[in-house]
Amino acid sequence: MNLVRHPVVALLLSALLGACVAPAPKPEAAPPAPVVPSVAPPAPSEPTAHDNLNAVAWSQTAIEHDLIYLEVYRDATDTLARALKDRSWDALPHEERSNPVRKLKPAIILDIDETVLDNSPYAARLVRANKSYEEATWAQWCNEKAAKALPGAREFTTYAASKGVTVFYLSNRAKDLNEVTLANLRSEGFPIAKGENVFLGLGVEVPGCTPVGKSDKGCRRRLIAEHYRVLMQFGDQLGDFLDANPNTLSERRAAVEPYLDWIGERWFVLPNPTYGSWEAAAFNNDFKAPKAQRHQEKLDNLRY
């Protein structure tokens, strides 16, 4: 009998042989891919702030800026008749008046830049280019004769001239800019009296008077005072009204203290947040100091 061919025996042999054969090993699983932390794209860098951006933006775009100018010049218009009537009325600092005023002709004194003419486009160019004031670029702007009249200035000066008041313009623009400045004033409709030197720029020499500071206007005011009773003064800087020396924060306040009652009556102060002696006083007038140092000194003078 052939046992292998017997069906039962064949089945048993098949089972035994299968049990002896080792199962094929399972393939190893691939190691998990390393987790790569997601990295956000770098944020765009912040633009470098220019110290004057907000100041220039306010000067050019804020309606409040224009309303202040209108308010100041309208107040001056309302006050002018009273000033003309009172023959003792005078708006010069006491130390600059040495002669009687009652028989003198009436006049008003105005600064030019940021008082009657708007130079904010020049300041805007500096902000856009991330630059600071330079005499060359300033002269280029002045030679364009493109400065526009500030709100209310032309109307007031025209009104004053119609009442027999001589309008004087005192500016600290360089002497070589005199003619283009006068041309700009004329093109904007400001009254320029004939037969009288009503534009007194930087460098005008006054016999017997030497300014303490290069930009001081006291000597030029004294020159006007020889023949005129000054009814009002207008400006955006303290130096447009009196000479404060030294130009420190404390001295500026002390110098104007005796004249606080004149503000809005004889002295009309206009806003200028873009430049001026107020800024220089905050860093001790040291324009040669590094920009970062001047910036820090201004920060140090803030109240927190």
Q: Rounded to whole angstroms, how far apart are CA atoms 196 and 161?
A: 13
- Residue 35: predicted pLDDT: 55
- Residue 244: predicted pLDDT: 94
106 preceded by a cis bond (ω within 30 of 0): no
- Residue 9: predicted pLDDT: 41
Contact 57, 51 (CB under 8 A): no
Find where tokens 């500071």 sit.
Answer: 213
Pairing relationship of beta strands 228-235 and 199-200 according to DSSP bridges: unpaired
DSSP 37: P
- Residue 198: predicted pLDDT: 97
- Residue 223: predicted pLDDT: 97
- pLDDT tens digits for 251-280? 999 999 999 999 999 999 999 999 999 999
Q: Rounded to whole angstroms, how far apart are CA atoms 2 and 148?
A: 126
Burial 151-185 (b: 16+ CB within 10 A, else e): bbbbebbeebbeeebbbbbbbbbeeebbeebbebb
> Residue 130 phi/psi, 5° resolution?
55, 50
Which residues, 6+ apart, have CB-to-CB distance to 278 below 8 Å?
237, 238, 252
Nearest-CA neighbor of 280 among 245, 304, 256?
Answer: 245
DSSP 288: T
pTM of the model: 0.85
DSSP 53: H
- Enter the CATH code of domain 53-300: 3.40.50.1000
Contact 173, 201 (CB under 8 A): yes
- pLDDT tens digits for 102-122? 999 999 999 999 999 999 999
- Residue 92: predicted pLDDT: 98
Domain ranges, ordered by start, for the chain: 53-300
Residues of the chain with pLDDT under 50: 1-23
Run of H or E residues at 235: strand 228-235
